[in-house]
Amino acid sequence: MLTGLEGGRKLLHIAMGGFALLLRFLTWQQAALCAVIALAFNLFVLPRVSGNRFSRESDVNRGYPVGILLYPVTVLLLILLFRDNLAIAAAGWAFLAFGDGMATVVSLIVSGPRLAWNREKSWPGLLGNTFFGGLAAVFLYFFTARQPVTAAVVAAILTAAAIAAAVETLPSEIDDNLLPPILGASALASLLVPIGAGLDFGPRLWHQFLIGIGVNAVISLVAFFIRLVRPSGVWSGFLAGTVIYGFGGWKAYLVLWFFFAVGTAATHAGKKRKEAMGKAEEAGGRRGAAHVFANLSVAAFLVSCWGLSGGFSSPLFLLAATAAFATALMDTIGTEVGQAIASPTFLLPEFRPVPPGTDGAVSIVGTLAGLLAATALGGLAGWFWDWPPSALTAIVSGAFAGTVVESLLGREGAAFRVSNGHVLNFLNTIVGAVTGWLVFTSLLKEAL
């Protein structure tokens, strides 16, 4: 039964999704103003009207309800980010209101197994989030866009709903009112690009996928038998490798292998020193599914968008994917080399000296080694696809930005600390990809 404090919060949470219908009739400026008014209402009026009826104990102790305030903030961000297509913002709002809200309702009504990566979440909740969030998003998107329903766009919306639902299950201290709808809407916006360009899923991709399946089947088994990966790393590596080869071809696949080879070598460097510090990778450095998805999911998704568009309409997807690879590599090299070689270690942003191995700390040697590795990876990609020098600048900038953000989020006492290392890796690849994209487009505009 959905009763008490959480019941009231979730019912209010879902009901507020009805206001997304207004996006069909408002300009983005009007919609943004409404979101600001809603934020002010939740901050100043709602507490006086309802008292602590919708506030958790932690909210009362803090003096303000984080989730209730983040709701209109997230809606405002959706409107600002997708002001040129408010239908995407409406879909993101659906993920926030109906997906997240119904995940709790379904998990209370239907008992089921817990998720392996987050025991606080269940499979019924994840499926409920995907189904109801996707269903509401399909309706709100086409209602707001005022366009005929098409199967390709519906598929894109449902895929984005699944991504938003999966992000909501990540074990993170960041309030789930923020990341799932933003990332879900961003995934939808990305998927709409190849749809608009005309999906290219012809013989070329089928041929690449067949090669990718064969190559990755062999490599995954060999990596397992020589103890480079764990059992979960076999199937997850096979999946990621096949997607990247299938959509990106052999060049993207070699970039993947550059990341894996250099990162694995760094993991085994200075092993005795890392073990003495208690910072050596578990299972002897053998990668598992969590490592694969944390480091490769963003790049694999972007390569997929590039491949589906035929590799012509949006080369930025490929550059952003490379920036995600470079970010993951810089983080891996920075951590492994920084722990293997004695070097001054600091906490950002105040550059306070701390002992090696401190959460969120960066070292001089590790940072320089990471930048060198990211530059090498970006140079390899630039050579493969004949990119201008500005592409390398964008890729390295993305890697540096992602690494800095990870350090700020991972440190003890951070305002929005994320303690799970795999979630940190996932977030830093997102930051790296977005930064690389923005820097490159900015440099292109300056050149013109």
Amino acid occupying residue 352: R
157: domain range?
Answer: 4-197
Q: Give the rounded distance of the alpha carbon of 245 from its chain centre.
A: 21
Assess whether 91 and 222 both reside in one domain.
no
Give the tokens for residue 89: 């913002």
Is residue 399 situated within a structural domain? Answer: yes
Among 140, 130, 145, 252, which residue's Cα sits nearest to residue 195? 145
pLDDT by residue for the chain (448 residues), tens digit each? 455 556 567 787 899 999 999 999 999 999 999 999 999 998 888 777 766 665 555 555 555 567 788 999 999 999 999 999 999 999 999 999 999 989 988 988 888 999 999 999 999 999 999 999 999 999 999 999 999 999 999 999 999 999 999 999 999 888 889 999 999 999 999 999 988 877 767 788 889 999 999 999 999 888 888 877 888 888 999 999 999 999 999 999 999 999 999 988 888 775 555 555 555 555 455 678 899 999 999 999 999 999 988 765 568 999 999 999 999 999 999 988 877 777 788 888 888 888 877 788 888 899 999 999 999 999 999 999 999 999 999 999 999 999 999 999 988 777 778 889 999 999 999 999 999 999 999 987 775 4
Assess whether 18 and 127 both reside in one domain.
yes
Is residue 202 situated within a structural domain? Answer: no
How far is the C-alpha of 333 from the C-alpha of 370, rounded, in Å? 5
Assess whether 280 and 167 both reside in one domain.
no
| Burial class for 112, CB neighbours closer than 10 Å (0-12, 13-18, 19+) | middle
Beta carbons of 322 and 377 less than 8 angstroms apart: yes
Assess whether 35 and 141 both reside in one domain.
yes
Q: Which residues have CB under 8 Å from 57's CB, separation 6+? A: none
Is residue 215 situated within a structural domain? Answer: yes
Give ∠ CA 214-382-298 in degrees, rounded to 5.
Answer: 55
Total number of domains constituting the chain: 2
Assess whether 374 and 243 both reside in one domain.
yes
Assess whether 175 and 295 both reside in one domain.
no
Is residue 203 situated within a structural domain? Answer: no
How far is the C-alpha of 183 from the C-alpha of 206, rounded, in Å? 28
Amino acid occupying residue 13: H
Is residue 148 situated within a structural domain? Answer: yes
Residue whose structure tokens are 């993305």: 398
Query: In this structure, what DSSP letter does residue 420 have?
Result: -
What torsion, rounded to 10 degrees, do the Cα atoms 54, 58, 62, 64 define? -20
Query: Of 197, 221, 256, which residue is a domain's last?
Result: 197
Q: Indicate the SS3 state at residue 115.
A: strand
Query: Of 197, 225, 240, which residue is a domain's last?
Result: 197
- In the chain the first and final C-alpha atoms are separated, in Å, by 60
Distances (CA, A) of 207 to 202, 257, 293: 9, 20, 25
Assess whether 259 and 350 both reside in one domain.
yes
Residue whose structure tokens are 């998990």: 107
How far is the C-alpha of 263 from the C-alpha of 252, rounded, in Å? 17
How far is the C-alpha of 320 from the C-alpha of 387, rounded, in Å? 13
Burial 270-291 (b: 16+ CB within 10 A, else e): bbeebeeeeebbeeebbbbbbb
How many CA atoms lie within 13 Å of 264's alpha carbon, on the beta-carbon side? 15
Among 171, 198, 314, 326, which residue's Cα sits nearest to residue 256? 326
Amino acid occupying residue 110: V
Assess whether 166 and 26 both reside in one domain.
yes
Is residue 245 situated within a structural domain? Answer: yes
The whole-model pTM stands at: 0.91
Distances (CA, A) of 93 to 66, 73, 98, 326: 18, 11, 8, 32
Assess whether 316 and 347 both reside in one domain.
yes
Phi, psi of 293, rounded to the nearest 5 degrees? -70, -35
Give the tokens for residue 444: 């292109």
Assess whether 252 and 177 both reside in one domain.
no
Beta carbons of 20 and 141 less than 8 angstroms apart: no
What is the reported pLDDT for 232?
84
Query: Of 138, 166, 197, which residue is a domain's last?
Result: 197
Assess whether 157 and 279 both reside in one domain.
no
What is the reported pLDDT for 335?
86
Assess whether 185 and 49 both reside in one domain.
yes
Give the tokens for residue 190: 């990305």
